[in-house]
Amino acid sequence: MIAAAALMTAAGANAAVILSSNFDGTNVNGNNPNPDYHIYSPSVEGWTSNTNGIELQSNNVAGKAFSGANLVELDTTVNSSMFVTLTPGRYNVSYYYSPRPGVAADSNGITLSLGETLLDSITGQGAGGTVWQRRTVAFNGGGNLTFAAIGSSDGVGGYIDSVKISTVPEASTWVMLVAGFGLVGVSMRRRKAAVAA
């Protein structure tokens, strides 16, 4: 029982968050022509844009952020994308998606890809306010991890917020961890037997 609890604790310690953003580290209301949104290029909060930029919106545009005050809309003036480059490894990605309120599903599409491999795709009909859904993806590999707007390229589209990317320990790490706990147990038993004799 104790070994299982220790194993879970050690496993959690080995999973390292390498990027976590709810996009609130940037002051959208700064010296921008429109105080409620701004298109950033070439990068913002660890993400790099394509030539169309990354649009951050405050809670004053259309719907509320999942966490904090800002969210990303990837249909800036046209469909756009943002990426982060990952070294080869095992990863978990979680993020929150909402269709933009009042916008049709054919304009609210978002994809998540690693290089040319599609990992996740979602769209939805926009309601009267934001309706956030948590999405999670696990994968092996490296390269550009990209969020992209798909569908109608019309300046309005799906939202993302609270993106977290974590590494996953390799299987060999787990084997070494379990073997280590086994050796500790054997060592403790031998010590007890020696003391009793």
Query: pLDDT for 137-189, tens place per residue?
Result: 999 999 999 999 999 999 999 999 999 999 998 776 556 666 677 667 666 66
Count of domains for the chain: 1
- Note the pLDDT of residue 31: 66
Domain contains 9: no
Query: What is the CATH number for 59?
Result: 2.60.120.200
- Note the pLDDT of residue 1: 39
Q: Which domain holds residue 30?
A: 16-168
Domain contains 173: no
Enumerate residues 6+ apart whose C-beta is below 8 A from 75.
55, 107, 149, 152, 153, 154, 155, 156, 157, 158
Identify the helix (H) or strand (E) that includes residue 50. none
State CA 103 to chain mean position distance: 24
Is the model's pTM score more than 0.85?
A: no
Which band of pLDDT confidence, cut at 50, 70 and 90, is reported for residue 28?
Answer: confident
- Note the pLDDT of residue 187: 66
Closest CA to 54 of 65, 42, 66, 69: 42
- Note the pLDDT of residue 26: 87
- Average pLDDT value over all residues in the chain: 86
- Note the pLDDT of residue 149: 97
Query: pLDDT for 47-90, tens place per residue?
Result: 999 889 999 999 879 999 999 999 999 999 999 999 999 999 99
- Note the pLDDT of residue 150: 97
Q: Does residue 2 carry a pLDDT above 60?
A: no
Distance, in Å, from the CA atom of 134 to the CA atom of 124, rounded to the nearest integer, reads: 14
CB-based contact 3:188 (threshold 8 Å): no
Domain contains 174: no
What is the pairing mode between strands 70-73 and 159-167? antiparallel
Domain contains 60: yes
Domain contains 154: yes
3-state secondary structure of 13: helix
Domain contains 176: no
- For residue 128, the 8-state DSSP code is S
Q: Torsions phi, psi of 155, nearest 5?
A: 90, -5
Q: Does residue 117 carry a pLDDT above 80?
A: yes
